[in-house]
Chains A and B, each alone.
Chain A
């Protein structure tokens, strides 16, 4: 890190000899060897051919898929995913729930009944399919476009609506923007807006799980799953998180949702390499690219990634799931300002994780037009019911604005609460407290 440090070490050379570590540099160069034995690359062959590696001449990492866009299995001899039809039907309904809720909440925001919303359109397969391969004990760190993960892991419509309306039943105590969901068990950490910060955190949490199972072999094997978009992968925290996960052998699966856009920025302005997957290899991480519109491919890759993550005492894995962000980035974004409407329409028509699975279900005789219509109608009703109830609920009491900063309220915070109360009492006409639970006494 610093010249200061170098000087300290050079002044005190004895400390170096005491390091109880494996020294890759101690592997001496054998005479006549065809390989370099530098400490930084212990198995690199010599070459007299001066050739720069040109990424554009390399074969691109292939995309794993199980079924085509017509819902037909590519390997017809194989049952998809090795799971029951009933389970596959719950995946479908979960994707549908997310999709139905997205449309209603997007409209609600447009009507001004909600401050903000982000839909998952086009990416429901990635979140539902990957979450289906997890156990309830696994830990999830998400970015924000993973509503399907919450749905698949038992978050109820009431939970979603309470958070979206930031009412008194909201786990986040009314503190976070909409879509920043969180749950203790199954643990899905509360979403925070700063991009990619969750990536090194996921590595640390995974390391904690590994240490826990070392210290207490009776604990069930658990992994951490960390979601992020291809734009977030440009942040320094992506680099930090993957590198540290590799060097510390953490049981963590990183899932990149590569949907082609980070708000308005297309991937050509995001990176010039072979997507995100090619970087995993550079960190020494087992990596796969999957078709994110194929829920079977996502599920199978995740199931195998989980197995790999738990092998050899812990190992990170990277999955790059390809998809297309069909919707606007958020309710604050009009994506037709930077991409053609026809491009979006084309994607909607051509390929979509929900339609693809529906085609498979119909081919299997498990679904039909009538079931589709009644299920959608039923889901719509349930969403609207929870919507109405959540909207009518009171907001959390005002003291929640101050609590939770520290484990205990500081003396300074208590003083500030008292001062706020005095202001509210002195100028009651300036503040509407009717929405808040217990009104002024909530302070």
Chain B
């Protein structure tokens, strides 16, 4: 093991040799400083200002994986029907999300499955159809495709085809780490939310922060009787740290959140790119003297069209930002809806800032995915149109 650790010692601090470094002259594309971003509750005092979070007496500073772990612990405590399984879940999970849960709740409710994604999701559907609340983990969203048939043809259609028997698989949640991490290349970077958003019958959720992840995950398990695809931006697992209420609380699905009010442009995004949007907005507001409204979609489908339309009708301009490919992505649906229902209020074409229509080649990630410069540029172009 010592030899494996050696490269860490010689690596320059804060710089990773295997991912393209920021340009030394960068003014926009700087690393996100999660310690100062306005999107996170750095102290417990701001928690109570958030309408959806409980004004909790007790909260704890935690990162995203710890918040997921806290949500899962809360869920397993709250109901005996909750069970947790997937590949390598028992020892704590490869991202530590299920840490200590098998010890606390037993190997009957928290366990490893054989390495088979279609089996994991099929197993979850069967358990849910019998009234359980299975929380299945797919190790990386990139590996969900073997389970695509089970999700699309089975989980999503279960209630519809059962009809009057009243049987459904609504108790299930499929969690999966998603998104880029700087060096995940083709199969540890994907964000397949748009593929699931094309499937009636499932709800698709992407949280942006620890406090949100806990509330949305608990709502997915307990408050929505539909199969939920819960995608966790894995680069936030350790990076995003904020105060999270200790108690049980939920955040409603299919409801967007206006993160920052503004008058001139609306930016719609979700997950990790929200931090890039926030940085780009700060730069644009300073340099261009504009006022930008930032909306976190949170639930990709069925999505909160009203909040987005209300905002665009006010600002007259819209930009949609996401990591996954621009072609047929979430931005296409949002832009088309805006065009259809806010046409007369639009003062510029709806812009989409998203991943290029290619694969995430290892060395090219920084050039393929949206960054602060591209979002900044989109704001500028929209304003100047």
Q: Is the CB of A240 within 8 A of B109?
A: no
A5 part of interface (Cβ distance < 8 Å):
yes
**Interface residues of B toward A: which range?**
35 or more
CB contact between B108 and one of A187, A194, A214 (< 8 Å): that residue? A214
Residues of B with C-beta under 8 A to A237: 118-119, 122, 149-150
Residues of B with C-beta under 8 A to A37: none
**Interface residues of A toward B: which range?**
35 or more
Stretch at the interface among A97-105, A177-185, A426-434: A177-185
Q: Is the CB of B114 within 8 A of A247?
A: yes
Q: Is the CB of A405 within 8 A of B200?
A: yes
Closest CB in chain A relative to B145 CB, distance in Å = 12
Residues of B with C-beta under 8 A to A241: 119, 122
Which residue among B103, B163, B224, B254 has the maximum number of chain A CB atoms within 10 Å of its CB? B163
Stretch at the interface among B39-47, B151-159, B274-282: B151-159
CB contact between B130 and one of A172, A180, A194, A209 (< 8 Å): that residue? A209
Residues of A with C-beta under 8 A to B125: 200-201, 204
Q: Is the CB of A405 within 8 A of B305?
A: no
Within B127-167, which residues are at the interface with A (CB < 8 Å)?
127-132, 134, 139-140, 143, 146, 149-150, 153-154, 157, 159-167
Q: Is the CB of B157 within 8 A of A407?
A: no
Stretch at the interface among A9-17, A351-359, A360-368, A376-384: A9-17
Q: Is the CB of A205 within 8 A of B126?
A: yes
B232 part of interface (Cβ distance < 8 Å):
no
Within A300-341, which residues are at the interface with B (CB < 8 Å)?
none
Q: Is the CB of A194 within 8 A of B4?
A: no
The answer to whether A200 and B126 touch (CB under 8 A), given A15-B92, A240-B119, A247-B113, is yes
Residues of B with C-beta under 8 A to A192: 153-154, 157, 161
- In Å, the complex CA distance between A8 and B200 comes to 36
Q: Is the CB of A139 within 8 A of B130?
A: yes
Within B1-50, which residues are at the interface with A (CB < 8 Å)?
1, 4-5
Q: In the complex, what residue of chain A is closest to B4 when comparing beta carbons?
A: A10
Stretch at the interface among A18-26, A58-66, A117-125, A268-276: A18-26
- In Å, the complex CA distance between A197 and B156 comes to 13
Q: In the complex, what residue of chain A is closest to B304 when comparing beta carbons?
A: A411
Q: Is the CB of A171 within 8 A of B160?
A: no
Residues of B with C-beta under 8 A to A171: 162-165
The answer to whether A240 and B164 touch (CB under 8 A), given A204-B125, A214-B108, is no
CB contact between A205 and one of B80, B92, B129, B159 (< 8 Å): that residue? B129
Q: Is the CB of B103 within 8 A of A20?
A: yes
- In Å, the complex CA distance between A180 and B161 comes to 9
Q: Is the CB of A206 within 8 A of B4?
A: no
- In Å, the complex CA distance between A206 and B124 comes to 11
Stretch at the interface among B83-91, B206-214, B290-298: B83-91
- In Å, the complex CA distance between A5 and B200 comes to 33
The answer to whether A187 and B159 touch (CB under 8 A), given A4-B188, A201-B154, is no
B184 part of interface (Cβ distance < 8 Å):
yes
- In Å, the complex CA distance between A8 and B226 comes to 34
Q: In the complex, what residue of chain A is closest to B122 when comparing beta carbons?
A: A200
Residues of A with C-beta under 8 A to B114: 240, 243-244, 247
Closest CB in chain B relative to A189 CB, distance in Å = 7
Q: In the complex, what residue of chain B is closest to A239 when comparing beta carbons?
A: B116
Within A211-246, which residues are at the interface with B (CB < 8 Å)?
211-212, 214-215, 224, 236-237, 239-241, 243-244
Q: Is the CB of A412 within 8 A of B302?
A: yes
Q: Is the CB of B165 within 8 A of A183?
A: yes
B316 part of interface (Cβ distance < 8 Å):
no
Q: Is the CB of B118 within 8 A of A175?
A: no
B355 part of interface (Cβ distance < 8 Å):
no
Closest CB in chain A relative to B104 CB, distance in Å = 11
- In Å, the complex CA distance between A28 and B113 comes to 26
Residues of A with C-beta under 8 A to B103: 20
Residues of A whose CB lies within 8 Å of any CB of B are 1-2, 4-5, 8-11, 13, 15-16, 18-21, 139, 141, 170-173, 175-176, 180, 182-184, 187, 189-190, 192, 194, 197, 199-209, 211-212, 214-215, 224, 236-237, 239-241, 243-244, 247-248, 400, 404-407, 410-412
What are 17 A-B contacts defined by CB distance under 8 Å? Answer: A1-B115, A2-B188, A5-B88, A170-B163, A189-B167, A190-B162, A200-B118, A201-B154, A205-B126, A207-B123, A207-B126, A211-B83, A237-B119, A240-B114, A240-B116, A404-B159, A406-B201
Residues of B whose CB lies within 8 Å of any CB of A are 1, 4-5, 80, 83, 87-88, 90-92, 94, 96, 102-103, 108-109, 111, 113-116, 118-132, 134, 139-140, 143, 146, 149-150, 153-154, 157, 159-168, 170, 184, 187-188, 200-201, 203, 224-226, 254, 302, 305-306
